[in-house]
Amino acid sequence: MLSYFLFILILAADLFLCFLVYLKGRQNRINRLFSALTFWSAVWMSSNFLENEITNLELAILFLTIDFISGVLIAYFFLLFCLYFHRPNLTLSKIKIFLIFSPIVILTIFILSDLIITNITLYQGRIQFSWGKLSIFYILTLLGYIGTGCLNLIFKYKKSYGIQKLQTLYILTGLSLTAFLALIINFFLQHILPVSLFRIGIYGFLFFIGFTSYAIVKYRLMDIRVVISKSLLYALLVVYVAGAFTFVSLLAVTYLHQLSDFNETLITLLISLIIVLSLDPLKKYLGRITDKIFFKARINYQDILVKLSEIISYELDLQSLLDEFLSALAKELKIEEAYILLSDKNKSFFRKENYLNGRKIIDFDQKSYLVKFLKRNKEIIISDELERKIIDADGNGSKVKKELEKIKSDLEKFNAAFCAPIFTKGRLTGILFLGKKLSGDMYAQEDINLFEVLSPQLAAALEKAKLYQEVHHFSQKLKLEVEKATEDLKKVNERLKKLDQIKTEFISITSHQLRTPLSGLKGYLSMLLEGDFGELDEKKTEVISDLLQNTERLVRLVNLFLNVSRIEMGKFSLEKSKVDLDKLIEETIKEFMPDINKKNLKVEFKKAAKSNLLFVDRDKIKDVVLNLLDNAIKYTDKGKITIEINFENNLCHFSISDTGIGIKKDDLDKLFGKFTRGSIIPDISKTGSGLGLFIAKKNIEAHNGKIWAESEGEGKGSRFCFEVGI
């Protein structure tokens, strides 16, 4: 029973492919050859199966004869299909046609005689025969035709590229596996295997059907996906309707017969109405599923052309034009990435930004092989086609191959699978790069046609945008001449802002780069002092302690620079939590104890009578306390430092006073500026960045507080205070 089921299934699938391919492209030679091949394959499978199923000798002889004749015709159409595959315009000379076709005619005549098969009998329900005198001619002819066809496909596979290469691979695999099983079993194992195993030759056609179907669905072989999709859709609808009405019939027989005729009829009509009304939604749902399987998401190139043309026509700003165009292009074509390189004013580099995967500058030398190729050939480059050209260039000298390989290397550098030049008045003004399609499909002729239409439009739009920019710049120039003095100042100001921004970015990058090695250095010095690498003598301990202190000072300096850059780059933010200010101050004092002890200073911490928790950013407030204490220690040679906290009216008042060098009254208002130090400080200390108080002020103001300094003058000490809300 299983053998019957498999036979009918394989035969039905084979005939289904046969008629679909023929109906879709009967005017196409390759479709006709494929249909002929699958038709005679169905004839061969039927005769091969039936010759061992009937008990009438005359019918068995008839099926055996059809078996051998159809085998010859399969080999003939197999060879023609392989020869014309991906070469629809191939023309065979009359001599070649005669040499291919004449052995088929001769073999057919021989089969009808007893020169190929003889002594045909039925034995134990199975047909038996002996090989005739010219049977070797039959076997060698079939092997020769099928072997030549497979070699031809192998050659085409090596020479093809992209989607054609994948189509060839699957057709070659399916045909060769099926042919191998059928030939081996029917020529050499005919009288050895039992009937059940002998039919593996028929079942082997599953390879041919499976691989061919996959190539049709996945790689658009013979482009019959529309027919298959619609056929599958309506087949599913027929199954649904048949199953639904069968269910209604069973329901009526089993349960509804107990009801009155009126109720039975009413329920049946209601169920039938539901089935009919559900057909259209079900059809749309199944249509989406079949389209997803066979087409993934079909691209409507006409709609894409309209959308991109609209963007090109209305966008005047160059940046907006590129952003809108590339974003729409990536979305509609479903590609990984897309960007355009534009020529700069010096015409020596192409530079622009990647619009999908973050902003980045790309420099591209016009002397590159890719640019030279685009200028010379003025054609679109597809990476898969480029691979074929590299293979073809083997016979054209190493120079051509070397140039193509360089071009391929340039494409790989940009992770591009598609490259289209943009020309303006014969001059290469831009290059469009596209990444791979998310679906895994190759770029096809439709994509090339799209960009051949869009390229002139895009070139004109880019020139229009550049002219718009030039007009805009010209108007600005006129304005500069009218208000020259003011504009000169603006220029200087903009220049300073740019320099300031560059400086800020440099500080940020440098600070980030310094933090990691400094943290590592600080950690290892701490481990040395703690004896993790062995005990140290007093001298080494002193030296390493100094190193650790200076390292900590450098870490604080790096953090200052990093905080400044964050403030200026707008990345300054607060992460508030409940903070015990007493503990924070004690922790900070502990960090500075080596410096305090080294200068023999006294530090007094006057806590508030009743402690309160502050809802502040702990790190920011600690930076403030740390900077104020560091300054007090640095500019106090003897005496004491007093830290005091008070809580009043929902405010926390903090002050730190010292007996140090003091501050001139003229300097009090300038101390909290960026890179600002008191006028007497350089005479005392050459170190210091002038950023500590600036950052302290920003931190306190971010908490809606205020900070200030007090001093009675030079040599009379100083007092720094701040207050923030509780």
Query: 301-466: which CATH topology?
Result: Beta-Lactamase (3.30.450)
Between 434 and 254, the higher pLDDT residue: 434
Burial per residue of 228-244, b for 16 or more beta-carbon CB atoms within 10 angstroms, e otherwise: bbebebeebeeebeeeb
Between 457 and 197, the higher pLDDT residue: 457
Domain residues of the chain, as ranges? 2-223, 228-295, 301-466, 496-572, 574-725
Give Cβ neighbours of residue 320 (< 8 Å, ≥ 6 apart).
none
Whether 191 shows a pLDDT value over 60: the answer reads: no
pLDDT band at 360 (very low <50, low <70, confident <90, very high): very low
CATH of 574-725, picked from 3.30.565.10, 3.40.640.10, 3.40.50.150, 1.10.340.30, is 3.30.565.10
CA angle 101, 107, 110 (to 5 degrees): 150
What pLDDT is attached to residue 462?
A: 81
pLDDT tens-digit readout, 626-682: 989 999 998 998 899 999 999 988 899 999 999 999 988 888 888 888 777 666 665
* CA-to-CA dists, residue 354 to 43, 339, 363, 367, 433, angstroms: 59, 5, 12, 22, 10
Tell me if residue 721 falls in helix, strand or coil: strand
pLDDT band at 688 (very low <50, low <70, confident <90, very high): low
Burial of residue 12, with CB atoms counted within 10 A of its CB: 0-12 exposed, 13-18 middle, 19 or more buried: exposed
What pLDDT is attached to residue 632?
A: 92
654 vs 621: CA distance, rounded Å: 11
pLDDT tens-digit readout, 565-616: 777 776 778 889 999 999 999 999 998 888 898 899 999 999 988 878 899 9
Mean pLDDT within 429-444: 78
User: Could you tell me which CATH class the domain 2-223 is placed in?
Assistant: mainly alpha
DSSP for 133-147 reads TTHHHHHHHHHHHHH
52 vs 60: CA distance, rounded Å: 7
pLDDT band at 195 (very low <50, low <70, confident <90, very high): very low
| Residue owning tokens 């306390």 | 625
Whether 393 shows a pLDDT value over 60: the answer reads: yes
What pLDDT is attached to residue 219?
A: 46
pLDDT band at 5 (very low <50, low <70, confident <90, very high): low
663 vs 136: CA distance, rounded Å: 115
Structure tokens at 350: 């192409």
697 vs 671: CA distance, rounded Å: 10
Between 269 and 77, the higher pLDDT residue: 77
What's the N-to-C CA distance of the chain in angstroms? 88
35 vs 683: CA distance, rounded Å: 99
What pLDDT is attached to residue 679?
A: 65
pLDDT tens-digit readout, 48-63: 777 777 777 888 788 8
pLDDT band at 353 (very low <50, low <70, confident <90, very high): very low
Whether 247 shows a pLDDT value over 80: the answer reads: no
Q: Could you tell me the strand order of the sheet in which 338-342 lies?
A: 338-342, 427-434, 418-424, 381-382
519: left (phi over 0), alpha (psi -120 to 50) or beta: alpha
pLDDT tens-digit readout, 117-171: 787 777 666 677 777 788 888 888 888 888 888 888 788 777 766 566 767 777 7
The strand pairing partners of 339, in sequence order, are 354, 433
Is the separation of the CB atoms in 662 and 632 below 8 Å?
Answer: no
What pLDDT is attached to residue 246?
A: 65
